[in-house]
């Protein structure tokens, strides 16, 4: 069965999180998974839609789900958990309330029979963990990493229906399969500030400071994420976060996508996973993950390359 693929605005369009899109597609191809982008998908509404107009968000997402259904794609992989949540929430709401379904179908001008199933990347890979084990078990060294789920992978529990809302373990399990050493830490599901990255960056600084601090305290040498907003917030504002927390020095914590980690384990080259476009230079840890000797002088800025 072909996997439906909903990249979302953050992964496509040369957006801020293009790494996630590139690495996800590379990994799916390498694993031999046939996937198809939902034809003519539209934005899920993200934070702005969810926060300011629920009817609009529902209609936008019913359109996406109906498009997937019409293309014969029932499993819809949405690597961005915010997109996945909006799709799942809309799906749940219209399944339970016929009036809402009618309103959404009317606005979206499409018929939706409620057969689609949105998935996050973590959920999908966890379902495919036997394949992951077969292809990439133990391929990475046992570097301690903090698996960061963010607020949306497991919440709201009714909509996401996946893993434990308070102490999730699926991403940790996947990393362990690959050979990494996921640490026990306290901020797995604490919010990073999400959509406030431009409109209220001091909140992002505060929240990411707490997260990065907890990850450091737990002895992690990198944070593994599976959300483009989390990546952007954790990767791009470490200086401000450190300043807000009153620390003398920057965090220097590489933030790597789960798809990139899996890609490295499958032997894909770092450039093909867009590991060169992060703010916090991950070259050192990437080298160690690939079993190469560490670089001599890790800078705190990645080299300027496209």
Partner 1 sequence: MRLQLTNAQVGSEWKREVDRRVGRQMSACYQCGKCSAGCPVAYEMFHPVHAMVRLVQLGRKDEALRSRSQWVCVACEACSTRCPKDVDPARLMTVLREMAQEEGCVNADEIDIYDFHQSFLSSVRMFGRVYEMGLVAAYKMKRPVHRGPQDVLTGMKMMRRGKPGLLPHRVQNVAAIRRIYEKTRLQRTTDRKSD
Partner 2 sequence: MSRIGVFICHCGENIGSVVDCERAAKTLASHPGVAYSTDYKYMCSDPGQNLVKKAIADHKLTGVVVSACSPRMHEPTFRNAAADAGLNPYLCEMANIREHCSWVHEDKEAATRKAIELIRLMVEKVKANEELQPIHVPITKRALVIGGGIAGIQAALDIANAGHEVVLVEREPSIGGHMLQLSETFPTLDCSQCILTPRMVEVARHPKIKLYTYSEVEALDGYIGNFEVTIRMKARSVDIEKCTGCGACMQKCPSRKILSEFNAGLLVPDPENPKKKLGYRTAIYTPSPQAVPNKPVIDREHCLYFQKGKCGVCAKVCPTDAIDYTQEETTVTEKVGAVVVATGYQVWSVAKAAEDYPYLGYGEYGYGTHPDIIDGLQFERLLSASGPTSGRVLRPSNGKEPKTVVFLSCVGSRDNEKGFTYCSKICCMYLSKHAMLYKHKVHDGQAYNFYMDIRAGGKTYDEFTRRTIEEDGCIYLRGRVSRIFPRGDKLVVQGADTLSNAQVEVEAELVVLATAITAQPDAEQLAQRLRVAYDKDRFFSEAHPKLRPVESQTAGIFFAGACQGPKDIPESVAQASAAASKAAGLLNADELEREPVVAQVHRAAPPVYSICFGCFFCERVCPYGAIEREEIRDRGGNLIKTVARVNEGLCTGCGLCAASCRANAITLRGFNDEQLFAVVNAIGEEQEESKAATP
Residues 245-274 that bind partner 2 (CB under 8 A): none
Selected binder of partner 2 within 48, 55, 111, 217 (CB under 8 A): 217
Assess 295 for contact with partner 1 (CB under 8 A): no
- Pick the closer one to partner 2 by CB: 2 or 167: 167
Rounded to a whole number of angstroms, the minimum distance from the CB of residue 151 to partner 2 is 13
Selected binder of partner 2 within 214, 225, 236, 268 (CB under 8 A): 214
Contact 171, 147 (CB under 8 A): yes
Assess 298 for contact with partner 1 (CB under 8 A): no
Among 93, 97, 86, residue whose Cα is nearest residue 10: 86
145-153, 158-166, 201-209, 240-248 -> range binding partner 2 (CB under 8 A) = 158-166
- Pick the closer one to partner 1 by CB: 170 or 197: 197
SS (H, E, C) the chain: CCEEECCCCCCCCCCCCHHHHHHHHHHHHHCCCCEEECCCCCCCCHHHHHHHCHHHHHHHHHHHHHHHHHCCCCEEECCCHHHHHHHHHHHHHHHHCHHHHHHHHHHHCCCCCCCCEEECHHHHHHHCHHHHHHHHCCCCCCCEEEECCCCCCCCCHHHHCCCCCCCCCHHHHHHHHHCCEECCCCCCCCCCCHHHHCCCHHHHHHHHHHHHHHHHHCCCCCEEECCHHHHHHHHHCHHHHHHHCCCCCCCCCCEEEHHHHHHHHCCCCHHHHCCCCCCCCCHHHHHHHCCCCCCCCCCCCCCCCC
Secondary structure letter of residue 121 according to DSSP: H
11-19, 161-169, 197-205, 244-252 -> range binding partner 2 (CB under 8 A) = 161-169
Residues 225-244 that bind partner 1 (CB under 8 A): 236-237
Selected binder of partner 1 within 190, 250, 252, 288 (CB under 8 A): 190
Rounded to a whole number of angstroms, the minimum distance from the CB of residue 107 to partner 1 is 4
Backbone angles phi, psi at 36, to 5 degrees: -135, 130
Q: Site map for partner 1, 63-82, x if CB under 8 A? A: x-------------------
Q: Site map for partner 2, 168-207, x if CB under 8 A? A: ------------------xx--------------------
92-100, 165-173, 280-288, 294-302 -> range binding partner 2 (CB under 8 A) = 165-173
Residues at the site binding partner 1, with contacts judged by CB under 8 A = 9-10, 12-18, 40-43, 45-56, 58-60, 63, 106-109, 151-152, 155-157, 165, 189-191, 193-196, 198-201, 203, 206-207, 210, 236-237, 276-277, 279, 301-302, 304-306
Residues at the site binding partner 2, with contacts judged by CB under 8 A = 164-167, 186-187, 214, 217
């Amino acid at each position: 069965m072909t996997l439906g693929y909903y990249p979302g605005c953050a992964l496509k369009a040369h957006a801020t999180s293009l790494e996630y899109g590139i690495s996800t597609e590379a990994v799916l191809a390498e694993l031999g998974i046939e996937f198809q982008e939902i034809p003519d998908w539209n934005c899920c509404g993200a934070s702005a839609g969810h926060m300011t107009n629920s009817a609009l968000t529902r209609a936008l997402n019913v359109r996406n789900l109906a498009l997937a259904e019409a293309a014969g794609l029932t499993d819809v992989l949405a690597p961005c958990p915010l997109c996945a949540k909006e799709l799942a929430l809309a799906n749940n709401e219209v399944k339970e309330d016929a009036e809402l379904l009618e309103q959404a179908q009317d606005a979206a001008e499409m018929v939706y029979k409620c057969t689609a199933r949105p998935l996050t990347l973590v959920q999908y890979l966890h379902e495919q963990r036997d394949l992951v084990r077969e292809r990439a078990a133990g391929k990475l060294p046992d570097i301690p990493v903090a698996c960061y789920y963010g607020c949306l992978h497991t919440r709201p529990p009714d909509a996401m229906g996946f893993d434990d809302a308070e102490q999730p373990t699926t991403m940790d399990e996947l990393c362990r399969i690959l050979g990494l050493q996921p640490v026990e830490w306290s901020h797995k599901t604490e919010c990073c500030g999400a959509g406030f990255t431009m409109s209220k960056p001091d909140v992002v600084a505060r929240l990411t400071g707490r997260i990065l601090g907890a990850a450091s305290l737990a002895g992690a040498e990198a944070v593994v994420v599976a959300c483009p907003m989390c990546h952007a917030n954790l990767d791009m504002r470490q200086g401000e976060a450190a300043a807000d927390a009153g620390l003398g020095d920057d965090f220097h914590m590489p933030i790597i996508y789960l798809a990139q980690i899996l890609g490295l384990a499958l032997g894909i080259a770092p450039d093909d996973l867009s590991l060169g476009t992060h703010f916090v230079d991950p070259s050192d840890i990437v080298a160690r993950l690939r079993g190469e000797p560490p670089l001599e002088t890790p800078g705190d800025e990645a080299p300027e390359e496209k």
